[in-house]
Chains A and B, each alone.
Chain A
């Protein structure tokens, strides 16, 4: 693939110009996308009072680290960060575990009402969170699970998409691999764990990344479930510190919080770039 495109690049002038055009189009898009992020980054280094006059101030000195030192002195931000981390990691682990087990079951096991249950799971894809949130709130309140990590994580763990994705992935693995393992005297769980699960790694990565990002950025459910300040996630915490009208005060501080909150997401992107590209392009890029 790489060899081929290199060849094309050196031998075909048409390809050369079209590659250049693509580069510039991509560059323009990239700039449009990254500008607001850079803007926020800039704001986070500006004094709050300067920004009250107008955010153009971001283009000129003086810059300050005060917002960040304030951030590190406000004790709750770290608590919120920890909460977000626990919830996002817990939810991701939960989704991967449950989706893999369910996917294996739907793809490989015979049990009564398998097809019906699978269809019901697929309906889950079509049900918006808004439709069930009141009932869910009521349920968690009866169970006394609001303001707990479990309460924050559990709803996100039932991922219809995850079950669907893993089912499709397990189905795509040839049955002969299971059969070879059976002839190798492998117990069923060991076949799942040692033979099939490693083959689903690309799907695990995709599902894991998306679940983590979704959980990290989730706003609505934590807003309902976490009512005590020390159970806030970052999204809720940051929003809660935004009190004055149109945020004319403390804009720099808010930006610093936002930068801080997006660090894990950025780290995830940097580490899993390749998986994300593959996932988004539907496996077309190899």
Chain B
């Protein structure tokens, strides 16, 4: 079973502190949506409002067309997996999963069969009689997911469920969650501040920042066409390098595809990004991702980078350094790079992969190919 979720102009404040301001969002049935954002941006709060653990100050929430923000948590047909798992410590794994169904007066035989099948799905049939204290972190996590599955909810809500796992287990569980979603086809909302989780799991990512939704889009849209400077800097590792734009040589020439800019540290840059006449120049920046840069031969055209830190990632090498003007920049080199800290190298960047941000942080991209 899966259902649509419609969040309509939802606002939340704790006393004088507004945490969410007029949030609207529609989630399709069966969609996997990730709320991504820095710590404290209100991701958990929004999720808990859907679950019914926080009240809604203004606005409405509908699940499957039914208004639910006035219902108690247990009547909303959602299941939640907590970061701390929140298993009942005094109950066995089987009892943990059965408890919610018993409250709903589900038939005993039906409970048993659901618990059994969830345990098989999650490969933990041998753990059913254990207490949570006798389980590893990863196993507890499975139980928490199992407890959600047996309820056959209209939607699953996950609040950073992977953040207490070690790196290897985290990536494995991530994969399993994706598979689980494929099998169940349920609507899922997943909260994280880990962009890798967001990129790999989501159909659509909701990037949140400062009480607002910054952008909603597929992982590729978010990565390649970030709507704002915040999204551009938050998503992607290493972070996008930003250079100040000091002037516009031509906003949009007819023969060229985009504007030619005067960029501090890089001189004249012919971009493929068309800009409107109303472009707010004050505080505008040009962004370059490290993968769109490359080191060039000493004699060739390019910019100087004085390397301060070399980060070898195996398949590629990241050079952290400063331009002649003092701006920090991250440049990518091949995995076999011999560059060392302290050296100065020449690099160039791909003119067709530039991002332009105006003074308000709004992003401009090259025209989409038709």
Question: Which residues of A are in contact with B by a Cβ distance under 8 Å?
Answer: 174, 176-177, 179-187, 190, 194-195, 198-199, 201
Contact = CB atoms under 8 A, between A and B. Distances in A.
B53 A182 contact: yes
A199 B90 CA distance: 7
Contact of A176 (B52, B72, B84): B84
B86 A182 contact: no
Interface in B195-244: none
A180 B88 contact: yes
B326 interface: no
Given A180-B86, A186-B103, 12 more contacts: A179-B80, A180-B82, A182-B52, A182-B72, A182-B73, A183-B100, A184-B74, A184-B99, A186-B100, A187-B103, A194-B99, A195-B88
B86 A185 contact: no
A232 B73 CA distance: 54
Contact of A184 (B53, B84, B100): B100
B104 interface: yes
A183 B84 contact: no
A179 B74 contact: no
Contacts of A194: 99
Contacts of B89: 177, 199
Given A185-B74, A195-B88, A180 B103 contact: no
Contact of B82 (A176, A185, A199): A176
A185 B98 CA distance: 12
Contacts of A176: 82, 84, 86
Given A176-B86, A199-B89, A183 B75 contact: no
B90 A198 contact: yes
A185 B100 contact: yes
Interface majority SS (helix, strand, loop, mixed), chain A: helix
Interface string B78-117: 1110101011111000000001100110000000000000
B86 A190 contact: no
B51 interface: yes
B97 to A, nearest CB: 10
A183 B90 contact: no
Contacts of B147: 180, 184
Interface of B: 51-53, 72-75, 78-80, 82, 84, 86-90, 99-100, 103-104, 147, 151
B74 A177 contact: no
Contacts of B90: 198-199, 201
Contact of A183 (B74, B87, B88): B74
Contacts of B51: 179, 183
A182 B74 contact: yes
A174 B84 contact: yes
A191 to B, nearest CB: 10
9 contacts: A176-B86, A179-B82, A181-B99, A182-B52, A183-B78, A186-B99, A187-B103, A190-B103, A199-B89
Contacts of B100: 183-186
Contacts of A180: 80, 82, 86-88, 147
B92 to A, nearest CB: 13
B196 to A, nearest CB: 25
Nearest to A176: B86
A156 B147 CA distance: 43
Contact of A179 (B53, B75, B79, B151): B53
B73 A183 contact: yes
Interface centre among A179, A187, A198, A199 (most CB of B within 10 A): A179
A207 to B, nearest CB: 18
Contacts of A184: 74, 99-100, 103, 147, 151
